[in-house]
Every structure is written in structure tokens, then in C-alpha cells.
């Protein structure tokens, strides 16, 4: 069967246009996602430097472990059981296994201001 010359012409004409439109939307989507990633990273860095004592960074329990103290016993001995200590820096709840504090020991060896920047 012979092919329709008009259909062949429209396919040759529309395929590059569709490809350009698809590439345009892909570029727009990647740009929006990239901008969102940069904003998120900036917010994360800003949050890491705040003094709101996020429980994600287990600096105080790692520091206690380096001093030879047991962060779990300190938590249980605390009458209100809200925090490990009343430290001015990070005093997170000891809710990770001891191996986590071993891995965080390099941060625990730093003072609080240097540790939160390194984190």
C-alpha cells in the first residue's frame, strides 16, 4: 500500500515540534525541581546552625559516651525525662543505639559551635 504523502508530511513536521515542546517542559520541570532542591538545602543549612536543639543531631549523648558516661542512665536519672542534661548546647534524647554514638564520636569530640557547623 502506498503511504499517504500528506500524513508523511505531517509526521515529519510535527515530530520535531513535539520533541521541542517535550524538551522545553523537561527543562522547565528540571529547573523547578533544581530550584526547590537549592532552597531546601539552604533551609537545612540554616536550621542546622540554629540553637533550637534539634533531636536529629545526637551530639550530647555522643559527647557523654566519649567522657565515659552512659547517656541512657543520665536520661533515666533525669526526673522529668525531657532531656539528657540542661546543657547550653545540644542535649538530645538518647534514642539511638550505642553504635550510632560511636559513629558520631568525631562530632562529640568538638565543642557545640564547631560540631553544629561540621554537622
Domain ranges, ordered by start, for the chain: 1-49, 59-118
Is the pLDDT score of 92 beyond 80?
Answer: no
Query: Which residues have C-beta within 8 Å of that of residue 48, sequence separation ≥ 6?
Result: 54, 57, 116, 117, 119
Residue with the three cell numbers 550505642: 98
Write down the pTM of the prediction: 0.55
The confidence band for 46, taking pLDDT boundaries of 50, 70 and 90, is confident
Higher pLDDT, 22 or 51: 22
Evaluate whether 49 touches 116 at the Cβ level (below 8 Å): yes
Give the residue from 73, 44, 68, 60 showing the smallest Cα distance to 100.
60
Q: Mean pLDDT over residues 73-94, rounded?
A: 66
Amino acid at each position: 500500500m502506498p503511504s499517504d504523502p500528506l500524513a508523511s508530511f505531517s509526521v515529519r513536521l510535527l515530530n520535531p515540534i513535539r520533541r521541542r515542546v517535550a524538551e522545553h517542559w523537561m527543562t522547565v520541570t528540571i529547573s523547578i525541581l533544581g530550584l526547590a532542591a537549592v532552597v531546601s538545602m539552604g533551609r537545612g543549612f540554616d536550621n542546622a546552625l540554629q540553637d533550637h536543639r534539634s533531636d536529629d543531631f545526637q551530639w550530647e549523648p555522643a559527647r557523654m559516651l566519649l567522657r565515659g558516661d552512659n547517656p541512657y542512665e543520665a536520661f533515666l536519672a533525669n526526673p522529668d525525662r525531657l532531656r539528657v542534661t540542661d546543657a547550653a548546647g545540644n542535649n538530645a534524647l538518647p534514642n539511638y543505639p550505642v553504635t550510632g554514638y560511636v559513629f558520631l564520636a568525631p562530632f562529640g569530640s568538638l565543642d557545640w559551635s564547631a560540631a553544629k557547623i561540621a554537622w
